[in-house]
Structure 1
């Protein structure tokens, strides 16, 4: 019989990754004394120190602790795979699911999709990560997430994309902007006007490609990586912006009105879909999430977003 539990290994990995009992406690939502006790128990069972205690700098893994950490991660992954296999055999969907979501719509799309999924599959434990596109690629390749809701932006060949819907681009302007009364705008109409660029990896290149296509450059007055900050800057007259997601309320975080104007011409829409590593869809919990998203995200309905 083992002298330790998978839960104790989970606490060990959390401390090893955060370097702090307090941070690990927050990460796994367990009291600090419980984690300290688990680490002490593992050190006694294994007969070796896992960490060096440094009063001012937290905990550092010993050389043996680093090797044990890698093995503990492997054991936990294999335990998750065993749970998933049992779900395949029994027909039940259960176990852990790590879901990534692109920062630009994580605040509105993922929470309702996750809520309805967990209501349908209460034995699934969902962990969510809000990421930019570059980090989504890295997290999928390192198996830190199982699947991600994202756009088809510069997708690498080693990852699999399952499209859900297309989202056309909008120009976003303040209520008193010179273009505010237009029904549609062309990229040419934006030339010479100050722009607030949503400056996220791959997203920025997508928006700037509209101008490159016509041999022009926008006048970038402001850059931000935060969707809410972008909306605030636009509403307060610092420039227009471009986006593919329209929130249910056309107001900025400080309550000022915004106008969303469809971009005319041949600017390609974003395709929203699910990105996975090769073979990830064979896991029952991932398959269930994919099918749930296909049912919930349709051309007529995207949770939390105006279509």
Structure 2
């Protein structure tokens, strides 16, 4: 049994296809198939049910894959230990970022990080929180940037910053004349929300402490982007809530619609999250330092109340 064989098994389990797995691991398909066959012969079991399309894991194969992930992760930890001992910061690093953070935060730190650590090859993927948690636990991501707390025992969280919610309220809305917003004034039925699957949406629902299920609604509008929500609000179809960093990019004519909350302002905690196995900590520490430093000048809010992004 070799680490290489276990990596081939993980590739097939992920892609559910021998050809795609071979492409991802940079070997020919016959070579990959032969090595997996040798492992199955050695263990005297079938890891994959090849009669299914796409290929599926057998019952014992699922257990083998889980153990293989642990072994491969621990083997990579050896190189991690050596890199830390040498002070080397480099190699491939897979980072996930949630959609409501990606467009504002990434331009703020990416160039600085790349210039300071040119030997690190960042592979960045936009994913929702559930996808991020699954990929960290399965070893497909080294770390991620997401709203926390997540209350997941397998994942460590290191806060990067606290980002207040800001109201975007058109002139026709009942709250437009308010100098400062209060949580008790919010009505979930006239808040335009991101579509289901976004943790920022869940945070707003938790903030309002009800579900958007009123039968008196004339319509329900949900969108995948803040830009669309702002346009809908400008049309008088309701108000919306934005993360603070997103408000820095809106036009000067729209700033009149921004309304801040009375302190403590409801806010989301944005953290760098990673597996408790703590692989590639030298890169994780470097990312944390760069992002924390860059963000320090952009968000001056101190008195905030953290709203959980997880559904209650």
Give TM-score scaled by structure 2 length: 0.68
- Helix, strand or coil for the counterpart of 1:58? coil
Unaligned runs of 5+ in 1: 303-307
Give 1:101's aligned residue: 97
Find the partner of 1:270 among 238, 262, 268: 268
Rate the CA distance shift 1:60–1:29 in 2: closer, same or farther, 3 A. Answer: same
1:17 to 14, 18, 21: 14
Residue-by-residue CA offset, 1:258-282 (whole Å, 9 max, x unaligned) = 8433233543322333234446388
1:200-223 superposed Cα distances (whole Å, 9 cap, x missing partner): 46544532454459xxx9x97535
Matched, 1:288 2:286: yes
Equivalent-residue separation in structure 2 for 1:288 and 1:190 (angstroms): 40
Cα gap change, 1:267 to 1:24, in 2 (>3 Å): same
The alignment yields a C-alpha RMSD, in angstroms, of 4.3
- Segments of 5+ residues of structure 2 without an aligned counterpart are 301-312
Query: CA 1:22/1:106 → structure 2, altered by over 3 Å: closer, same or farther?
Result: farther
Aligned to 2:161: 165
The answer to whether the 8 A contact 1:197-1:222 is kept is no
Q: Secondary structure at the residue paired with 1:79? A: helix
Aligned partners of 1:88 and 1:177: how far apart in 2? 56
Q: Which residue of 2 aligns with 1:305?
A: none
2 CA distance for matches of 1:209 and 1:12? 41
Q: CA deviation at 1:92?
A: 0.5
Change (3 A) 1:212 1:165: same
Whole-angstrom CA distance in 1 between matches of 2:93 and 2:141? 8
The 3-state SS of whatever aligns with 2:55 is: strand
Structure 1 length as normaliser, TM-score? 0.69
Identify the residue that residue 36 of structure 1 maps to in structure 2.
29
State the secondary structure of the residue aligned to 1:93: coil
Q: Distance between the aligned counterparts of 1:90 and 1:200, measured in 2?
A: 42
| Cα distance change, pair 129–169 in 1 and its aligned pair in 2 (3 A) | same
Is the Cα contact below 8 Å between 1:281 and 1:287 reproduced in 2?
A: no
Check the 8 A contact 2:188/2:205 in 1, yes or no: no
Paired residue for 2:81?
A: 85
Matching of residues 1-307 of structure 1 within 5 Å: 6=4, 10-21=7-18, 24=21, 28=24, 34-43=27-36, 45-46=38-39, 48=41, 51-54=48-51, 57-61=53-57, 69-70=65-66, 72-110=68-106, 113-141=109-137, 143-153=139-149, 155=151, 159-174=155-170, 184-187=180-183, 190-191=186-187, 194-198=190-194, 199-200=196-197, 203-212=200-209, 222=220, 224=222, 226-228=224-226, 229-247=228-246, 248-250=248-250, 259-278=257-276, 280=278, 283-300=281-298
Going from structure 1 to structure 2, the CA distance change for 1:84 and 1:206 (only over 3 Å counts) comes to: same
